[in-house]
Amino acid sequence: MKIRVYYEDTDSGGVVYHANYLNFMERARTEWLRDLGVNQHSLKIKDNVMFVVANMAIKFKKSAVLDDELTVHTKLLKLKPCSLDLIQDIFKGDELLIQSSITVACIDASQLKPLKIPTEIKKLMETL
Amino acid sequence: MKIRVYYEDTDSGGVVYHANYLNFMERARTEWLRDLGVNQHSLKIKDNVMFVVANMAIKFKKSAVLDDELTVHTKLLKLKPCSLDLIQDIFKGDELLIQSSITVACIDASQLKPLKIPTEIKKLMETL
Amino acid sequence: MKIRVYYEDTDSGGVVYHANYLNFMERARTEWLRDLGVNQHSLKIKDNVMFVVANMAIKFKKSAVLDDELTVHTKLLKLKPCSLDLIQDIFKGDELLIQSSITVACIDASQLKPLKIPTEIKKLMETL
Amino acid sequence: MKIRVYYEDTDSGGVVYHANYLNFMERARTEWLRDLGVNQHSLKIKDNVMFVVANMAIKFKKSAVLDDELTVHTKLLKLKPCSLDLIQDIFKGDELLIQSSITVACIDASQLKPLKIPTEIKKLMETL
């Protein structure tokens, strides 16, 4: 997934504000799910299911600046009953800027409690 | 209401990113309502009522920078059946940075449709 | 310009947080300038020139929600020596959600003072 | 440091958007530095020195919602020549919501390269 850096993403250090890389990764996870056929809005409204970040380890190696075009790579590492482990890396061209490993938990959207990943979605993910 | 400018609020132009002044104004409206005894979270959960911005005119006169301490002044201009007109100005010390006039509408939180301002809240606002 | 609504753009009211529409409009202005051949990052670094929002009037007519695909229309209304007036509207399909009129000022990036729009850029804009 | 949750901090999941906890932690680091007598804006402008996040591990245990009042605890774990390790936890009352360990690097603000922490600041930190 391609991401363009706009003014909103930067800070007065002249680079992308660190927390905003998490936005880029979240956009990439959303598109990764959409590519699998999963729409998070209808998943929440119709099935009362949400995917939320439970754990995250990030290494900020290099900074991006205004107008950069970045690519986010998302890779499924492990599929567990109620969560999934992902690797998400952000590149500028061939250069690795950000490395992260993320656990995304499946939860009940109204009670915010752990939930088994719906079987249909699990099957789609197992095809990866 | 006092607001401190953090890195998150700035952009690579070296100043506060223009849309973030709207966050400062929203914080000030929330505290203005809280001072009146209105908690927006319980208003939404218990009474299905939300206040949302319907119209806004803003003049960006001067820029704030990292670490500035700003003050947001909120003044009720006019109380209407389903909405209120406010003036919100942002100062750095005595210097006026931002001038705005805002119409906030009262809406039904589930259907997102106009709603009369609840009588209790209206009475509280009339005391101002 | 097409914009997809992600979690980062929404708030607990269930809709896009009002200030985030300003981000969408800023992205569209950046791409509008890029289409004209103007790169804001190099404009700042090489020529010490920035475009900043000086005035804005916005009408929030309808709300967008998670996963919506929006379109931002940007139209030059008037070109002045040190600023330009734009109309920016946000649509969801055929439906108009947001109407805005914006004055963007040209400034000296280090002193943050008004500046004449560089002749080359002015000529590019006059072709519109 | 006390943080109030506003609409800008939440997402349509009804809770605080995960990346926004990083904003809260950044505000707390800024105030932690200010309490030590270090102003990041003048540090950058006068001394060409910036502190940036190099590594971060975060555990999102529980969610905060609109209008919550949170507390961020910041503790220095280890002081190294060019960086420092911090523990930052976010509480709602007595309840631990977020646990994080963060490495903050000292860099040259113009070249974005590693830099020894200035002796004066190091001495201030050693008193903790």
Asked if D113 is an interface residue toward chain A (Cβ–Cβ < 8 A), one would say no
pLDDT (tens digit, 9 = 90+) per residue, D24-71? 999 999 999 999 999 999 999 999 999 999 999 999 999 999 999 999
How would you write chain B as a 3-class SS string?
CEEECCHHHECCCCCECCCHHHHHHHHHHHHHHHHHCCCHHHHHHHHCEEEEEEEEEEEECCCCCCCCEEEEEEEEEEECCCEEEEEEEEEECCEEEEEEEEEEEEEECCCCCECCCCHHHHHHHHCC
CATH of C2-126, one of 3.40.50.1010, 3.40.190.10, 3.10.129.10, 3.40.50.720: 3.10.129.10
Q: Which residue has the tokens 């940036």?
A: D52
In the predicted model, what is the mean pLDDT of chain B? 96
Confidence of residue C124 (pLDDT cuts 50, 70, 90): very high
Predicted local distance difference test score (pLDDT) of residue C17:
97
Q: Which residue has the tokens 């001067």?
A: B62
Nearest Cβ partner for B6 among D8, D27, D67 = D27
This complex has an ipTM of 0.94
Residue B9, classified by CB atoms within 10 Å of its CB into exposed (0-12), middle (13-18) or buried (19+), is: buried
For chain D, how far is it from start to end, CA to CA, in angstroms? Answer: 17
Confidence of residue C92 (pLDDT cuts 50, 70, 90): very high
Alpha-carbon distance of B14 to B64, in angstroms, equals 9
Predicted local distance difference test score (pLDDT) of residue B96:
98
Asked if C71 is an interface residue toward chain A (Cβ–Cβ < 8 A), one would say no
> Which residues have a Cβ under 8 Å from the Cβ of D115 and sit 6 or more positions away?
D49, D82, D106, D107, D108
Give how far C14 is from chain B: nearest CA, Å.
Answer: 9
What are the extents of the domains in chain D?
2-126
Asked if D110 is an interface residue toward chain B (Cβ–Cβ < 8 A), one would say no
Predicted local distance difference test score (pLDDT) of residue D127:
92
Chain C CB contacts of B59 below 8 Å: 54-55
pLDDT (tens digit, 9 = 90+) per residue, B69-89? 999 999 999 999 999 999 999
Predicted local distance difference test score (pLDDT) of residue A128:
86
Give how far B23 is from chain D: nearest CA, Å.
Answer: 6
Chain B CB contacts of A7 below 8 Å: 11-13, 17
Residue in chain C closest to B18 (alpha carbons) equals: C53
Two tokens at B35?
Answer: 């001072």
Predicted local distance difference test score (pLDDT) of residue D60:
98
| Contact check, Cβ <8 Å, C10/D7 | no
Asked if B45 is an interface residue toward chain A (Cβ–Cβ < 8 A), one would say no
DSSP type of residue C94:
T
Radius of gyration of chain A (CA): 15
Alpha-carbon distance of C127 to B87, in angstroms, equals 39
Which of B7, B12, B66 is the mutation pick for testing A, counting most A CBs within 10 A? B12
Residue in chain A closest to C39 (alpha carbons) equals: A67
Predicted local distance difference test score (pLDDT) of residue D128:
85
Please report the number of interchain residue pairs, chain A to chain C, with beta-carbon separation below 8 angstroms. Answer: 40
pLDDT (tens digit, 9 = 90+) per residue, B23-52? 999 999 999 999 999 999 999 999 999 999
Asked if A100 is an interface residue toward chain D (Cβ–Cβ < 8 A), one would say no
- C-beta of residue A7 within 8 angstroms of C-beta of residue B11: yes
Neighbours of chain D (3+ CB pairs under 8 A): A, B, C
Alpha-carbon distance of C127 to B100, in angstroms, equals 34
Helix (H) / strand (E) element for C66: namely none
Residues of chain A with pLDDT under 50: none
pTM of the shown model: 0.95
Predicted local distance difference test score (pLDDT) of residue C128:
85
Alpha-carbon distance of A15 to B26, in angstroms, equals 26
Alpha-carbon distance of C65 to C9, in angstroms, equals 9
Alpha-carbon distance of B26 to C17, in angstroms, equals 10
Please report the number of interchain residue pairs, chain C to chain D, with beta-carbon separation below 8 angstroms. Answer: 33
Give how far C7 is from chain A: nearest CA, Å.
Answer: 8
| Contact check, Cβ <8 Å, B11/A13 | no
AA letter at D98: I
Residue in chain B closest to A64 (alpha carbons) equals: B12
Question: Beta D2-4 vs D69-79: how paired, if at all?
Answer: antiparallel
Give how far D20 is from chain A: nearest CA, Å.
Answer: 7
Alpha-carbon distance of A101 to A94, in angstroms, equals 19
Confidence of residue B128 (pLDDT cuts 50, 70, 90): confident
Confidence of residue D72 (pLDDT cuts 50, 70, 90): very high
Alpha-carbon distance of A14 to A18, in angstroms, equals 12
| Contact check, Cβ <8 Å, B7/A13 | yes
Number of H helices, E strands in chain A: 3, 5
Q: What is the three-class DSSP state of D111?
A: coil
Cβ neighbours, 10 Å, residue D11: 23
Predicted local distance difference test score (pLDDT) of residue B119:
96
